[in-house]
């Protein structure tokens, strides 16, 4: 019994032993787990990474915020420093209405909707009630915008709204490009568009100088990085890393703004009156190759894109289009013949016709001029005479002439996509018709370059549209006069000019229409048939290219003017009349500048003073002292913004537009130029529709009325 009792007692102790061992094992496991956690934590703390991820970098990525610092795109300016294309920004307003949006107890949302609506109604083309409706959406929202009325706001408008210190009102900005002159050498200056491939450069040049010098104009964005909280506000003592933006450089052109604007007006007048397919005009300094003015029709406004719709050509007619120039080529063929010693000015020929390899070539009047000397071939623009002259010159000299004058080769002007033109001397007929400008394709820049050799006593200079480029780094590249050849001697050039004088002065000359009393001119007219894409040439007198090349003054040419007019669809007068509507007033303006009858453009320039923050009386006095006109926009008593900007160059008498701190109202724009109205659009951020040419004669919104969201139409008319 005793043994049995002992066995039962030992069995009773086993559960206690089991629990003890279980506790020991559990404790050991806990210690091991804790040690493992401590080791892991120590490892993470020391190494700073988990699963190959750097914790510090991960934390920074979660709380760091990088804000881009936008670089300004550089300006394109004219020869006197006036802006042709410049950087601009527009602003969009929005309101935070979420009542949870606070920081350190400060309310960062709209707290007084009625007051906010009343203030915004002064600057936005919306009623107070409409703004209240935006601020009180039916569904919960963190922020609201104000539709189209809250977009494209000017800097002046933004500043005025910010002065009211309205909680919850914020702005976003968008880069844009301002072309203050509107239609102004548009294909040459070019165009920018939004850049879809590089967010660091929101605008990219797609045409003209904007494209050619995009790298120099674009600049480089910077950035600012700092740690922020969940609401996007910078954390206390957070480190800030900043890389400054590098603004774009400047492209200084050879264009003269006053002359360019005048040429644009003349081209528009001819386009409207005669409705030709195209018309072009270029003025070049004969001695330096500087392009002073260059325009074409059709054209477009780079600020509004009006005129550059679907189906419109994006090509610059002056550099990218090639064409058969017609009789203007006779100038250079004659020069080649004189240079080669084969020209016989006093020898007579029968001008009725000439046969070449079985092909009959007749003069432009179909009957010729009878027996005349070769000295009259150019003034009369005799096709037959020029064929004889080229044949006497020989194929080798003809080829040398074309090459030496630069035909079939790019001029190298700093514009994109320049064409090289083409010609072939494969057969006698082709060589013959090239004598009067057929079967040879040229660009207008090639004609101007070749003409410079005649104007400069045999020295040929490269056409230039840019005089200086300043890169973002500050490096300045200067484009100087570039001599590109000496195709003829001074004696040859003098003889050619004498022949071109006869074109204007002799009663049989084809250019007598262009004669200006008392002015020494050397000229050559041209008429060419327009090639048919299917072969041959398009029929009819309306399918022709008419042109005029003039050197002035002929005794020592300073200017080369080249005009073309293509395919007159509603010609009510001869082509010479249409071209003279451009040439006569343009040449009169050029010779007036050259003769010193008035002050030169440079001496008429003044520096625009800074009048921002000045009162009206003080601002007016400062501008009057500089002989600058002024126009007030708004009902305030203090200037908040001005255009042109302070420090820029402007012609004496130019209008400076001043935006005041009052409600934005429409001024009286009677007599304003298009450039001034476009400056008004930039200052106010409102849309303007411009109709006609010349100076403002009517406006759809009465002066003194509040500028709203609807476009304002301004009508322009020419003045005699």
* HEC sequence for 448-500: HHHHHHHHCCCCEECCECEEEEECCCCCEEECCCCEEECCCCHHHHHHHHHHH
Residue 203 has pLDDT above 90, yes or no: no
Per the CB < 8 A criterion, the answer to whether 662 and 678 are in contact is: no
pLDDT of residue 172: 84
Per the CB < 8 A criterion, the answer to whether 117 and 158 are in contact is: no
User: Of the ranges 155-159, 234-238, 710-714, which one carries the lowest mean pLDDT score?
Assistant: 234-238
What tokens does 26 get?
A: 């559990």
Query: Would you name the residues annotated as active-site residues?
Result: 327
pLDDT of residue 237: 64
pLDDT of residue 227: 67
pLDDT of residue 2: 54
% of the chain at pLDDT higher than 70: 88
What tokens does 487 get?
A: 């195709």
% of the chain at pLDDT higher than 90: 47
Write out the CATH class of domain 67-251: alpha beta
Model confidence pLDDT, tens digit, residues 56-90: 555 555 556 666 677 888 999 998 888 899 887 77
Residue 119 has pLDDT above 80, yes or no: yes
User: Of the ranges 75-89, 344-358, 549-563, 568-582, which one carries the lowest mean pLDDT score?
Assistant: 568-582
Model confidence pLDDT, tens digit, residues 491-511: 999 999 999 999 999 999 999
Sequence ranges of the domains in the chain: 2-47, 67-251, 257-593, 602-717
pLDDT of residue 601: 42
pLDDT band at residue 602, thresholds of 50, 70 and 90? very low
Q: Which fold has domain 602-717?
A: Trypsin Inhibitor V; Chain A (3.30.10)
| Same-fold call for 67-251 versus 257-593 | no
Assigned superfamily of 257-593: DD-peptidase/beta-lactamase superfamily (3.40.710.10)
Q: Which helix (H) or strand (E) holds 401?
A: helix 395-404
Model confidence pLDDT, tens digit, residues 102-116: 888 889 999 999 999
Q: How far apart are CA 365 and CA 188, in angstroms?
A: 37
Residue 149 has pLDDT above 60, yes or no: yes
Model confidence pLDDT, tens digit, residues 162-195: 999 999 999 988 777 888 888 899 999 999 987 7
pLDDT band at residue 644, thresholds of 50, 70 and 90? confident
pLDDT of residue 13: 54
Per the CB < 8 A criterion, the answer to whether 312 and 305 are in contact is: no
Per the CB < 8 A criterion, the answer to whether 492 and 335 are in contact is: yes
pLDDT band at residue 7, thresholds of 50, 70 and 90? low
Q: What's the chain's average pLDDT? A: 85
More confident residue, 12 or 448: 448
Other C-beta atoms closer than 10 Å to the C-beta of 720 total 2
């Amino acid at each position: 019994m005793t043994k049995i009792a002992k066995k039962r007692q030992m069995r009773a102790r086993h559960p206690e032993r089991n629990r003890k061992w279980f506790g020991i094992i559990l404790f050991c496991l806990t210690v091991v787990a804790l040690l493992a956690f401590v080791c892991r934590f120590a490892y993470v703390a020391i190494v700073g990474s988990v699963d190959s991820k750097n914790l510090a970098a991960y934390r920074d990525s979660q709380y760091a915020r990088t804000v881009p610092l936008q670089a300004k795109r550089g300006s394109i300016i004219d020869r006197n420093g006036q802006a042709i294309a410049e950087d601009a920004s527009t602003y969009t307003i929005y309101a935070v209405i979420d009542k949870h949006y606070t920081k350190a107890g400060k309310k960062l949302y709209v707290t007084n909707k009625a007051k906010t609506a009343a203030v915004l109604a002064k600057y936005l083309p919306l009623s107070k009630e409409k703004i209240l409706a935006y601020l009180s959406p039916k569904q919960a929202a963190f922020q609201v915008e104000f539709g189209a009325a809250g977009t494209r706001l000017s800097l002046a408008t933004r500043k005025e709204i910010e002065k009211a210190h309205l909680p919850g009102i914020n702005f976003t900005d968008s880069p844009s490009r301002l072309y203050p002159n509107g239609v102004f050498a548009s294909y040459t200056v070019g165009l920018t568009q939004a850049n879809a491939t590089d967010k660091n450069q929101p605008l990219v040049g797609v045409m003209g100088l904007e494209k050619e010098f995009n790298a120099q104009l674009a600049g480089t964005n910077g950035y600012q990085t700092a740690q922020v909280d969940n609401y996007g506000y910078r954390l206390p003592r957070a480190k800030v890393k900043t890389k400054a933006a590098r603004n774009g450089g400047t492209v200084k052109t050879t264009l003269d703004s006053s002359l360019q604007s005048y040429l644009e007006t003349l081209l528009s007048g001819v386009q409207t009156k005669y409705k030709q397919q195209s018309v072009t005009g270029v003025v070049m300094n004969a001695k330096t190759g500087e392009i002073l003015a260059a325009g074409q029709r059709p054209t477009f406004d780079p600020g509004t894109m009006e005129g550059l719709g679907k189906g419109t050509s994006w090509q610059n007619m002056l550099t990218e289009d090639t064409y058969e120039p017609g009789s203007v080529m006779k100038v250079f063929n004659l020069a080649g013949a004189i240079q080669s010693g084969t020209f016989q000015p006093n020898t007579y020929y029968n001008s009725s016709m000439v046969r070449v390899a079985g092909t009959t070539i007749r003069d432009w009047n179909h009957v010729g001029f009878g027996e005349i000397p070769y000295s009259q071939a150019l003034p009369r623009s005799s096709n037959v005479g020029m064929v004889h002259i080229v044949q006497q010159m020989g194929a080798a000299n003809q080829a040398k002439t074309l090459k030496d004058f630069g035909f079939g080769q790019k001029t190298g002007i700093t514009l994109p996509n320049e064409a090289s033109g083409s010609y072939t001397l494969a057969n006698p007929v082709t060589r013959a018709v090239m004598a009067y400008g057929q079967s040879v394709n040229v660009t207008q820049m090639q004609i101007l370059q070749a003409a410079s050799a005649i104007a400069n006593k045999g020295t040929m200079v490269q056409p230039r549209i840019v005089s200086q480029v300043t890169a973002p780094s500050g490096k300045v590249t200067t484009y100087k006069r570039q001599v590109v050849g000496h195709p003829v001697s001074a004696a040859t050039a003098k003889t050619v000019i004498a022949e071109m004088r006869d074109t204007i002065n002799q009663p049989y000359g084809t250019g007598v229409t262009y004669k200006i009393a008392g002015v020494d001119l050397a000229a050559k007219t041209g008429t060419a048939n327009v090639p048919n894409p299917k072969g041959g040439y398009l029929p009819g007198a309306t399918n022709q290219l008419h042109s005029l090349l003039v050197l002035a003054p002929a005794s020592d040419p300073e200017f080369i003017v080249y005009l073309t007019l293509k395919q007159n669809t509603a010609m009510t007068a001869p082509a010479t009349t249409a071209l003279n509507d451009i040439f006569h007033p343009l040449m009169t303006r050029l010779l007036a500048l050259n003769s010193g009858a008035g002050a030169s453009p440079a001496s008429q320039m003044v520096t625009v003073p800074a009048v921002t923050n000045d009162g009206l009386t003080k601002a007016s006095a400062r501008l009057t002292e500089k002989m600058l006109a002024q126009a007030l926009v708004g009902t305030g008593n203090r200037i908040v913004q001005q255009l042109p900007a302070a420090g820029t160059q402007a012609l004496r008498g130019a209008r400076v537009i001043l935006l005041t701190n009052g409600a934005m109202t429409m001024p009286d724009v009677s007599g304003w130029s298009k450039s001034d109205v476009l400056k008004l659009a930039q200052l106010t951020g409102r849309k303007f529709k411009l109709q006609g040419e010349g100076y403002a004669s009517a406006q759809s919104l009465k002066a003194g009325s509040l500028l709203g969201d609807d476009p304002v139409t301004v009508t322009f008319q020419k003045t005699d």
